[in-house]
Structure 1
């Protein structure tokens, strides 16, 4: 009998980063702590993100993107979802005034958040309603494609997740939503891994792997430029069962430091 695989759900997440003056890290990333009642990664420290909504794929949104982003793009709905999710979960909006071309200011962000943040999160309106009413351009051109992970076939819930990276606008104040996420922090990659090893953070395996990669960069500019300039390798971990236990295998072509990890070790992280 062939086991039926759980269907893949499209999802997007975004690494919002900034330069850091700490001695151990040159870059910081904004991360949120998932609510303990959320059914996936509850209580974990994660990047803002979530499932792609039907409204994220609305063809009408093409007219509210930079001209350079209006061609055929299989990742368009994922990019828009990552912008929407960062607005909902992190209070960061990667969008411009269509008349001036300037990124949304802090004052404008607060006005938009008060009016649209919760309705978007609750699914009461699609993002096209906000961008059309407020004359916004979604700044998908600022997003670099950082990683692509697909949940292993044996898992009961599976996601097709694209990771994006962008410099956080310096004039916008990041803040968790208090609903899906209950805490937030600007944190360096090395600090994330050190605190996770001490048991102070719960960090799921794909998040940890991408946090580690982020730590290789000396500046936010370099990290985003590299994502824009290189192709992304799709990671679909494979299960290996041996006398020693169960292991997840990751292709070395993906560029991570780990290619084989015990499943129980992953669950502990």
Structure 2
């Protein structure tokens, strides 16, 4: 903190000294009416003042940069610092997102843990019920063991009975062999009968073939009959159509005859009117002749 005060004081003192020197130099330049770079004295004094101010600023910045490393980094590495800051903020956002995701997963895990706890309690109750069922099954197992021992004794008795049955079965097998011999003889007789039946079946097949041929001919004749019936039906329909057309033509002929009668009546009427008109024309012709005679008489009189 003390070094900062000393630095500020040194900057102020240095600025005051440089300003004083600049003012003195400017005053002397103005009084002496000196000229730099072919400028007027007033402009030369202004130039000296500008140079003095630039020196003040340069010395101030030089002192600050020389004494403060953080200021140098802040001025010259500001872009890098801002870039790093943006990257750090992005990483912070990513970390926050991951944190949020982890919190969600933790919440889900806690929920699943609660569900598993509930399922565990259910499983415990089921295990208790299964243990009870196991005890019941053990009791039933003991009862079944007793029943099995009883059944074994019954099986021994049944084995003895089975041995007796086997003896009876052997006797029955001997009887069955005798029956098989008789059956073989019967089979030979049946084979002979089958040969006779086969001959009869062959004959029956021949008859059936002949019958099938006759059936085919009958089916062909039936098909021909159906075709002729269809043609007959077509002819009947054509005859019906022609009859209908004949009736229509007769009706048209009757209508034409009526029209002819009407026209004949009209013709007679017109002839009568024509005769009347001719009579009137004759009368008019006679009247015309009379008028001509009268006209001739009048002309002769004139």
The two structures have a TM-score, normalised by structure 2, of 0.10
**Greater RCO, 1 or 2 (C-alpha within 8 Å, sep 6+):** 1
The two structures have a TM-score, normalised by structure 1, of 0.11
Higher strand fraction: Structure 1 or Structure 2?
Answer: 1
Higher helix fraction: Structure 1 or Structure 2?
Answer: 2
Query: Whose radius of gyration is greater, 1 or 2?
Result: 2
